[in-house]
Every structure is written in C-alpha cells, then in structure tokens.
Amino acid sequence: MGLLRIFEKLKFWDTTKGLTKAVPTQGEATIQLASGPLSLDGAQWHLLKHTLDDSDTSPMGLNIQHELKRQLSWDKDGERRSYAWKVLRAAKEEEKAKKHQGDTALTIPPFFKNAGRGNKIIWGTPQPMVINWAGLNGEEKQQLMPTLSTTCLSL
C-alpha cells in the first residue's frame, strides 16, 4: 500500500547541500552557481550531491563549477569525447568493471560504483575499470600508466 499526494499548487523541494542551492522540479534540478543557474537531470543532481566533496576548503558549488568549465572546454576540443551510456554499460558488463575513468562528474554514468579522472577519485574506491582514454589529458594519462593492466578495456 502506498501514499499519493496531489498538490494544487506547484511545490518546490529545496535540496540545498551546504552553500549550494538546488531546487528540483519535475525531474530537473536547477543549481545556483557563481556563473549563473545550471539545469541538470534531477537524478544527476542527487548523484552529485552525494558524491562530490562539500567542505569549507572545497565547496560543492565550486566543484560543480570546475567540472562544468572542464566539460564545456572538452565539448569544444575535438580530441575529447564522452561515450553514450549504452556503450559504457556494454563495456562495463563485458569487462565486469566497477570503475569509470575519464569524464567529468557531470557526464559519468551513475551505474559505476567508482569514478575518477587520473589520480582524482570522484566517488568510490579503486576497482576494475573502464577507461575513456580520449577523456583524459596527458597528465591524467601519465597518472594512470602505472595502474594499467591487460585486463582493462580502454575505449
């Protein structure tokens, strides 16, 4: 048995995290950043809310802003790409991978238990991984070289 609430007036649920203000409505969340509002899929916001660092020295809003800036610059760069979630899910299942390497926190699919970029852990702990090599810069590739093995599937 469940409960269903019907509101005659639109109700906004405030899901603010620390100093980062976000208001989700009908599957979309609007986050207030220093550069202006950013609209994300509501599920993506909830994933970021629980995975990105939010401390006095590294506030989540600033972390999202950095990830957005990185993603926008990558979108302009012809050498960087993010693969469709369908492709990443197939690679994950084929290789039994639990970690994703090589995208921004804004585009990493939530079906990986762990995510990172180079030495940076975005969420989770080290596990078998799928690496989006084209989604890493030279320094991040060098950081991963010691951990690569023949069991990694690199797209």
Question: Does residue 154 surpass a pLDDT of 60?
Answer: no
* Ranges of each domain in the chain: 22-76, 85-154
Q: Which residues of 27-44 are buried (b: 16+ CB within 10 A; e: fewer)?
A: eebbbeeeeeebebebeb
The whole-number pLDDT of residue 150 equals: 45
The whole-number pLDDT of residue 89 equals: 92
The whole-number pLDDT of residue 32 equals: 84
pLDDT digits (tens, 9 = 90+) for 62-72: 888 888 898 88
Nearest by Cα to 108 from 41, 54, 55? 41
Contact status, residue 15 vs residue 22, Cβ threshold 8 Å: yes
In Å, how far from its chain's centre is CA 65? 12
pLDDT digits (tens, 9 = 90+) for 121-153: 888 876 677 888 888 888 988 888 877 754 455
Question: Does residue 14 surpass a pLDDT of 60?
Answer: no
Place of tokens 């986050």: 31
pLDDT digits (tens, 9 = 90+) for 72-113: 888 888 777 778 889 999 999 988 888 888 888 888 888 888
DSSP assignment of 14-57 equals P--BTTB-EEEETTEEEEEETTEEEEEEHHHHHHHHHHS--SSS
